[in-house]
Homo-oligomer: A and B are copies of this chain.
Amino acid sequence: MSDPTAHVLDQVVALEPAGEHRFRGSTHEAWANMVGPFGGATAATMLNAVLQHPDRHGDPLALTLNYAGPVTDGEFFIEARPVRTNRSNQHWVLEMRQGDEVVTTATALTGLRRETWSETETGPPEVPAPEDVPRASEDRGVRWIGNYDMRFVTGGWDDVAGDDGTTTSTTTMWIRDSPERGLDHLSLTALGDSFFPRSFLRLGRPVPAGTVTLSIYFMATADELEAQGTDFVLGSVHAHRFHGSYHDESARLWSRDGTLLAVSNQLMYFKS
């Protein structure tokens, strides 16, 4: 069902209709993570079910993904149901299944946007241009990293080997798809989950960890995403607290000119 000549992101999010409110898709080896696929690819695939749905009303505003269990390599089905359509927005409930097992649940919100007072109150940190930051190694033991050009400004993968860990959980990086691809809601969704776990940084070593729930809010309108083209996105993420097997992560993604494109929040399980 996926076109092998398409961009690797478009291959992994590809879906074919499989009945009313139902779509069939398949995992893709280029997006493999430690266990199952990269969560950002799963999130983008779920959003694509909304985008492909004939009854969709408006652009994506928000998406919440709950990772209920590991996605096994191979086929899956997504049910995407518009449960309420208002004049200016629409509420969606989604579920991904493999066999009888629910592997992912989600809710999404689409809607129409009008011109209003507009301001990015939280601008990006002061950082060098992406051209002045070396591209990070793809050698992190998981295949999906190869689909991105990541350039760490602070809190990079090298700091995970720091034994005692770092005193802050912040990572700031430039990132874009590799090969390059024009930014849209799908790629932005995947970027929202592209940071390695904050526990790795604070503990100074990789530990068992996984996202349990992720919410992304699309702060940019479609015209702004279009204007972004294939340029780098600046991402910055940090955790507020680590406690009792869980920590949060709060990320912001800006365009090069400082427009806030999206905010992404998640709760992660970790062992220490």
Contacts and interface: CB of A to CB of B under 8 A. Distances in A.
Interface of A: 61-62, 64, 66, 68-69, 83-84, 86, 88-89, 91, 93, 95, 101-102, 105-107, 109, 111-122, 168-169, 199, 202-203, 212-213, 215, 217, 219-221, 238-246, 248, 250, 252, 260, 263, 265, 267, 269-272
Contact of A117 (B64, B112, B203, B212): B203
Given A241-B260, A242-B121, A271-B116, A66 B107 contact: yes
A181 B61 CA distance: 36
Contacts of A212: 61-62, 89, 109, 111
Given A68-B91, A93-B93, 5 more contacts: A116-B244, A116-B245, A119-B202, A119-B241, A240-B263
A66 B91 CA distance: 8
5 contacts: A62-B212, A89-B269, A114-B244, A119-B243, A241-B260
Contacts of A118: 242-244
A241 B61 CA distance: 13
A191 B213 CA distance: 21
The 7 closest A-B pairs by CB, nearest first: A113-B244, A117-B272, A122-B240, A241-B260, A68-B84, A68-B91, A221-B244
Contacts of A109: 66, 212-213, 267
Question: How many copies of this chain sit in the oligomeric assembly?
Answer: 2
A241 B101 CA distance: 38
A270 B217 CA distance: 15
Contact of A105 (B88, B107, B113, B213): B107
B107 A83 contact: no
A83 B64 contact: no
A112 B239 CA distance: 21
B263 A250 contact: yes
B61 A64 contact: no
A267 B61 contact: yes
Contacts of A219: 240-241, 243, 246, 248
Contacts of A238: 121-122
Nearest to A222: B244
